[in-house]
Amino acid sequence: MVSVFSLLLINRIYFWISGEKLIAEAGIVIFGFIAFSFLFFFRVVIKKTYQVMNRKEQRQTAYILGIEREDIAMAEGIISENASNYKVIGFICNDAKSHQTRIFNLPIYNTQQLQKSSTIGDAVIVSDSRLQYLREHRPQLLSKLLDLQLKIYKLPNLEDWEGQNSAANLQAIKIEDLLQRSPIQLDRNKLHDRYHNKTILVTGAAGSIGSEIVRQLIPFTPKSILLLDQAETPLHELVVELDKEHPQLRYEKIICNVRSKKRLRQVFNHFQPQVVFHGAAYKHVPMMESNPLEALSVNFQGTRNVADLALEFSIERFVFVSTDKAVNPTNIMGASKRSAELYIQSLVHSKQHQTSFITTRFGNVLGSNGSVIPHFKKQIAQGGPLTVTHPEITRYFMTIDEACQLVLEAGAMGNGGEIYVFDMGSPIKIIDLAKHMIRLSGLVPNKDIAIEFSGLRPGEKLYEELLADKESTLPTHHEKIMIAQATHNFNTTQIVLLSNLLKSVKTYEAKDAVLSLKKLVPEFQPADLATQLANSNTPSDKKTKRVS
């Protein structure tokens, strides 16, 4: 266009000077039209050639799950995007009431038709809202699609898009997407009042739970977050992440072992925290069965150290992260956490203070360090087999973000002394979890990847509980958080037992510590107490003092 106007201008100037034109103006216009047409055609050919070359191997044939208005709009968007790596070949709908047979001249299938088909597409695309509905009401449909070895991609809600078009925002679903429940509604105003402009200490800050608590505290603009952990490398990785993602955040990185009360006192004295989230703990059941004294020294003595200092420095709120394994424990890890719960309750019952002590108790967290998900992923990458301890073993699961949101909510609502129990939904069979993960990898359980049973490990339960037998629950304003009303009466005998347990731990009297724990937590029923004592491999004859 510029060249045409330039030629017309030159032609006109030459006419003014010489009285004649270089070329007829009609010819210039025709030349411009022809040149523009060829240039446009050349660019279209180049673009189409590039798209075809780049999607020869990448383009996948995909179905759209659902035939509602939202699903059709999603399909229209993907079809209209010429650069998409997905070719929509049909819709999937198992609704027998639907009489439609085609949309956009594409067929509508049900899962039975797909099973009988000789050729099946590569993937299924589902909206985030429909995926949430299927998780809660029709999980069997997702299992059928995975059985057909179809990859499932979800399209997040529009507000969660990372720019670009809809196809670029498609995400492969993970095991968390299949198990996660409906989003949690938080009382953000109340949380803001509790945590805004406060100095908050998070112990175990480098762990999966601790680090997520830190991330979820950031939107409430605390004055400073104290990141306390004994693990140097994970703490460094968290610091690198915070510097990159939240450069405005004020924080302190603190290497400290919760077993050292002297070091903890230095931290409290120097930084003067107002709120404490205590998540530092040893949590691997088989490992702690072989090292009971270490479990008690961190989970009981460490918690006691932090709780005592919370009293000494008049901390506003102390939130203890416990576990469902503390209910009727059959292993040292669970019993050590229960003993820590009892000590915190004893503080509430026996002393006048300003600190609100709150305990939160929940089950397994998907994807956390040492959980079954990373273990299964590693086994799948190695070609199997996947090892499950027992065909009937079940566990409660929730995602990391869900668990930490509830910890923050419970920490804000507590008045002191409560043990908050989270709604974990229905327990999940570990074997079903293993099968789902194999299917998500595009493989067939017990065909491409074998599943083997290794037998229950020492101290492991078939089923886990969230409430002790003599406890009842009370509702709160949040539908997913309940209060466990413990029936324990804290008397002089129990105080003495707590003191005896601490003394045995400090003096490395492992056998005495396990026996004191059994008296303190009478519901502690190890599979074989003699074995527990034999596993107390720390030399009990050496009465080496630990620095407190």
List, by residue number, the catalytic residues.
325
Q: Could you give the CA distance from residue 217 to residue 404 in angstroms, rounded to a whole number?
A: 10
> CA torsion sign, 330 to 336 to 341 to 347?
positive
**Cβ 164 vs Cβ 457: under 8 Å:** no
Look up residue 425 and give its amino acid: G
**Cβ 511 vs Cβ 538: under 8 Å:** no
**Cβ 285 vs Cβ 333: under 8 Å:** yes
The phi-psi region of residue 19 (left if phi > 0; otherwise alpha if psi is between -120 and 50; otherwise beta) is: left
Q: Could you give the CA distance from residue 68 to residue 62 in angstroms, rounded to a whole number?
A: 17
What value, to the nearest 5°, has the Cα angle with vertex 411 and ends 408 and 412?
90
Q: Name the residue among 395, 396, 287, 397 with its Cα closest to residue 331.
A: 287
Close Cβ partners of 136 (under 8 Å, ≥ 6 residues apart): 181, 182
Close Cβ partners of 50 (under 8 Å, ≥ 6 residues apart): none
**CA-based R_g, the chain, Å:** 31
Place of tokens 């409906």: 182
Look up residue 195 and give its amino acid: Y
On the 0-12 / 13-18 / 19+ scale of CB atoms within 10 A, 540 is: middle
Strands 123-127 and 60-65: parallel
**Cβ 408 vs Cβ 212: under 8 Å:** no
Would you tell me the crossing angle of helices 128-137 and 139-147 to the nearest 10 degrees? 110
On the 0-12 / 13-18 / 19+ scale of CB atoms within 10 A, 8 is: middle
**Cβ 482 vs Cβ 460: under 8 Å:** no
**Cβ 356 vs Cβ 396: under 8 Å:** no
Q: Could you give the CA distance from residue 360 to residue 104 in angstroms, rounded to a whole number?
A: 52
Strands 151-155 and 171-172: antiparallel
DSSP strand E in 363-519: where?
364-366, 386-388, 394-395, 397-399, 419-422, 428-429, 451-453, 472-475, 481-485
